[in-house]
Structure 1
Amino acid sequence: MAKEEDKKAENTEDTPVEEKPKGSSKKLLVIGLLLGLLLGGGAGFGAFMMLSGSDAPAEQNEEVVVKKEEPKIDAHFVKVERVNIPLVSKGRVVGNLIADFSIKVDGNDNKMEVIVNLPEIRDAILRHFSGKSIGKKNNPRSIDYPMLKQAIKDISNKILKKPLVLDVMVVQVKQF
């Protein structure tokens, strides 16, 4: 028996001890991740298909949609700076405005026509608002911007004798 024990001791010293490979846990992790991705992707795809409805529609309605092509506008802007506008309420001046705005026109020719008539347009704006309030009805010191824009557009088109002004953008207003 002593000989057998010596042989066992010699065998353990000479032969290396076998260790379990560490790669098996990494393989299991990768396999688990792949299965999770497949199941998650499949569930997402299934939910998407269920929400999209059936392949064959019950009834097809053919509607002809007629698209109206709006004429293309070659927008040009004319800057109008430092227009003094009085704030009038009940026949009295309650304040003053210095307004900057831009007039939108179609095409360069119309822009040049507005620029040529700009002094007359500025004069007409001042005369118009000297007698008419641009303030809101419940608060005359608060400016009614939609009314101001429409009035400037109407005044400009009246001076130009053609509807050349497409829109008016109020850029800045200083009230004092």
Structure 2
Amino acid sequence: EHHPYWHVARDAMDDELTHAHEAAHGWFGNGVRIRCWEDFVLSEGTTSYISARALSLADPTQADAIWRGYQEELDAAIADGGAPAWPQGCGQIDIIKDQLFTNLPYMQGAFFYKDVAAEVGEDVLDGVISRFYMKHKNQAAGMQDMIDAIRTDTGFDPTPIVDARLRKKF
């Protein structure tokens, strides 16, 4: 999941977001592995959100541009179609044949977290993600584990956001 040389390719060398995304895989993708391909959004959506969050904290003037760029990527992914960002089941799909390896898990996942943060607060969600990592580091986990952590740690039920962002097929 973690690509140590991918983010330094010539065409991505000046892209801070790609650097941040690939570095975040040190936590999600390596540190916490996905249980199965259906949980791809746990890796890619989480790292996309963490990347946007970190760069927005480092330079708040970038936040709007990052999320506008993400929205453009999401709009293009929706137009292309594909599997839901978080398909039902575990071990039942082929990530390529079933069209999960698209930008939908990356962008719908990032916007899932952004929507949750709008409800519970960014700092609160940061804490949830941190505790989730500490609990699951060096283990496999699924997106349901993250949903449960959000619900348990905050008292907020993210089910409507899950349905809108992660379960919808395009």
Q: Shorter chain as normaliser: what TM range?
A: under 0.3
Larger RCO of the pair (alpha carbons < 8 Å, separation 6+): 2
Relative to the length of structure 1, the TM-score reads 0.27
- Structure with a larger share of its residues in helix: 2
Question: Greater Rg, structure 1 or structure 2?
Answer: 1
Relative to the length of structure 2, the TM-score reads 0.28
